[in-house]
Amino acid sequence: MLSWTIYVSFLGALLVGLWPGRGAAGVRWVALLAAAAGAVLSGVGLWEVTRAGGALQLLADVAWVPELGIRYRLGADGLSAVLAVLTGVAAVAGVLFSWNIETRVREFFALFLWLVGAVYGVFLSFDLFLFFVFYELAIVPKYFLIAIWGSTRREYGAMKLVLYSFVGSAMVLVALLAAYVASGAHSFGWGEMVGASVPRSVQMWGFPVMFLGFAILAGLWPWHTWAPTGHVAAPTAASMLLAGVVMKLGAYGCLRVAMPLFGEGLWPWRSEWWGLGSWPEVFAVLAVVGIVWGALVALVQQDFKFVIGYSSVSHMGFVLLGLMTLTGAGWQGAVLQMVSHGLIAGLLFAVVGRMVYDRAHTRDLRELERMGLGRALPFAAGTFVLAGAASAGMPGFSGFMAEVHVLLGAWQSHPVLAVVTGAGVLLGAAYIWRAMQRAFFGGGSVEPAGAGAAPAAVAVAPVTWAERAGAVLLLGGVVLLGVWPRLVLDVVAPVLTGEVYGRLLRGAWW
C-alpha cells in the first residue's frame, strides 16, 4: 500500500498538468483527492507496519541497473512509515491552504504533487542510489514553486535554496560512491551497504562529508541561511512543505544513511590541537548553537514570516542534537521532533502566510500591531495561540514530549549542552509570545468584512472553510501526539533498538 503513495502523487501531478485550461476548480479537487489518497495509503501502511512490530516490509524489488547492483527497491519500517504519514498530512493541508490560488493553477498543483511524490520516494527507498535519485527529484519543483509563486526576493530565495541543496547533494554523492568503491560492495541496497566493511580511513572523512551534506538541508548552523530566506520567499503551501517535510529529508538522510553507513565515523579521533574528540561532539555543538542562535534572531525580527523561518532553524537543531547524543532517548526525541515540527511549522506558516499576509498585505509586526487582527480574525488568532504554545514546548502538545526526550538524551551524553539547550527553549517561548502579542492583540481598528465597521476601519475577509479544515487537521495531529506520543515512539523504537542502530549505540563514545 505504501508504494502507491509515490505513484498516486506522480499520477496526480500528470493528470493535473494535462487538465483543460479553464478547469481550475477541477484541478483543485484532483490535487486534493491525490493528496488525500496518499495520506490514506500512508495511514494504512503505518497500521500494517505497526502490526508487524515496526519491522522492515519489502514493497518492491526489481533490477534497475544490474551491472552496478542498482535496484528499484522500496521498503518501509517504523521510521519511514511514520514520516510517510507526516508527508500525507502535510500534503493535504498544503492543498487546502492553496485553494484560492488563481495564477497558473495547473502548474502549481502539478509541481506540488511532484514534490510530494519525490518526498514519499525518499522515505521509502531502500536502495541508496534510488534514494539519491528521489532526493534530487525533490529539488526541481522547489525552485519553480518559489521562483514563480513566491514573494519577497523570490528569485534570490529559490536560487539560494537550490544552490545549497545541490552542494549538499554533491557531498552526499561523493561519500556514497566512496563507500561503494572502498567496500567492494556489489549492490547499493541499504542492508548490503550498511553491512559492508568500509575501511576506517574512508569512514573518518566519509561520515562528516555525508552527514554535513544532509544536515545542510536540515538547517544546521551556520549553513542554515537558505532556510529562512526560502521560507519567506515561498508561497504558503511551499513554505509548509519546506519546513514540514523537505527539511526532514536532510535529517532522515543523516539517520538512515550517514550514521549506519559510516558507523566508525562516530568514534573518537585524535586531534593535534585538543587531543581526543569525535564528530558527534562537533555536530552536537553546532546544533546547540543553531538552537540558541535561531531563537535569538527570531526574537528581534520585524517580519512575521521571518520569525517562523528562524524558529524552524532553532527547532531543527533539536532534531540534529538528538541524533548526535547517540542515546536511545535522544534518537526517539529526534524522530518525534521531526513529526512534531512538521505539523507545527506547517500550521504556523499557514497562519502567517495565508490567513494574515493574504488579508493584511503586510508581514511587518509594527504594522500588524496597529491593526489588531485578533478581533477581525479570531480563528487565525486562536490557531496561532495554540500552535505557538506547541512550538514553545507547552505540555499537552507534541513539541513538549519531543524536546523532553532530546534534553534527556543530551543530559546523558553531555550535561553542559543540555543546559544551554534549555536556554533555547526559554527563548522560544519569548519570541512566540512577542510575535503573537504584536500580530493579533494590538489596539487597531481592523474589523471583519461585513460587520458594519466604521468607514475609517480596514475590513478583512473571513477565514475560509478550506483554511479551517487544514488548520484543524494539523492542530489535531499536534494535540494527538502531545497526549499520546506512543503513536510514534512505539513504532520507531524497534528500528532504533534493532541490530543496525543497536550496534551504533553500543559503540558510542563521548
pLDDT in tens, 349-404: 888 887 888 787 788 888 887 877 778 888 888 888 999 989 888 888 888 888 89
Strand partners, 73: 61
Q: Do residue 380 and residue 495 come from a single domain?
A: yes
| Nine-digit cell string for 420 | 544551554
* Residues of the chain above pLDDT 70, percent: 93
The pLDDT of residue 271 is: 53
**pLDDT level of residue 454 (50, 70, 90 thresholds):** very low
Q: Do residue 330 and residue 278 come from a single domain?
A: yes
> pLDDT tens digits for 36-60?
999 999 999 999 888 888 788 888 8
Number of domains in the chain: 2
| Residue 108 covered by a domain | yes
The pLDDT of residue 510 is: 36
Mean pLDDT of 296-320: 89
The pLDDT of residue 277 is: 67
Position with higher pLDDT, 498 vs 86: 86
> pLDDT tens digits for 101-121?
777 888 888 999 999 999 999
The pLDDT of residue 445 is: 53
pLDDT at 213 over 80: yes
> pLDDT tens digits for 396-449?
888 888 889 999 988 888 888 888 888 888 888 888 888 888 888 866 555 555
The pLDDT of residue 23 is: 65
Indicate left, alpha or beta for 54 from its phi (over 0: left) and psi (-120 to 50: alpha).
left
| Residue 208 covered by a domain | no
**Rg of the chain on CA atoms, in Å:** 22
The pLDDT of residue 269 is: 61
Who contacts 100 (Cβ-Cβ below 8 Å, separation ≥6)?
Answer: 358, 464, 466
The pLDDT of residue 289 is: 92
The pLDDT of residue 509 is: 39
Q: Do residue 20 and residue 142 come from a single domain?
A: yes
What percentage of the chain's residues is helix, strand, coil (to nearest 5)?
75, 5, 20
Q: Do residue 236 and residue 349 come from a single domain?
A: no
Q: Do residue 237 and residue 290 come from a single domain?
A: no
| Residue 453 covered by a domain | no
Indicate left, alpha or beta for 396 from its phi (over 0: left) and psi (-120 to 50: alpha).
left
| Residue 67 covered by a domain | yes
The pLDDT of residue 121 is: 93
The answer to whether the peptide bond before residue 222 is cis (omega within 30 degrees of 0) is yes
The pTM (predicted TM-score) of the whole model is 0.88
The pLDDT of residue 363 is: 81
| Residue 93 covered by a domain | yes
Among all chains, which residue has been given the C-alpha cell 532526493? 135
| Residues spanned by the domain of 130 | 1-168+224-253
Mean pLDDT for the chain? 84
Q: Do residue 247 and residue 332 come from a single domain?
A: no
| Nine-digit cell string for 27 | 484541478
Position with higher pLDDT, 348 vs 152: 348
Helix, strand, or coil here: 150? coil
Q: Do residue 243 and residue 375 come from a single domain?
A: no
| Residue 204 covered by a domain | no
Q: Do residue 239 and residue 95 come from a single domain?
A: yes
Strand bridging mode 458-460 / 446-448: parallel
Nearest CA to 146 among 241, 27, 10, 21?
A: 241
The pLDDT of residue 452 is: 46
Among all chains, which residue has been given the C-alpha cell 522547489? 142
| Residue 459 covered by a domain | no
The pLDDT of residue 118 is: 92
| CA of residue 266 relative to chain centroid, distance | 24
> pLDDT tens digits for 265-307?
777 665 544 455 678 888 999 999 999 999 999 888 888 888 8
Q: Do residue 277 and residue 333 come from a single domain?
A: yes
**pLDDT level of residue 199 (50, 70, 90 thresholds):** confident
Q: Do residue 33 and residue 94 come from a single domain?
A: yes
Helix, strand, or coil here: 273? coil
Q: Do residue 238 and residue 279 come from a single domain?
A: no
Q: Do residue 296 and residue 332 come from a single domain?
A: yes
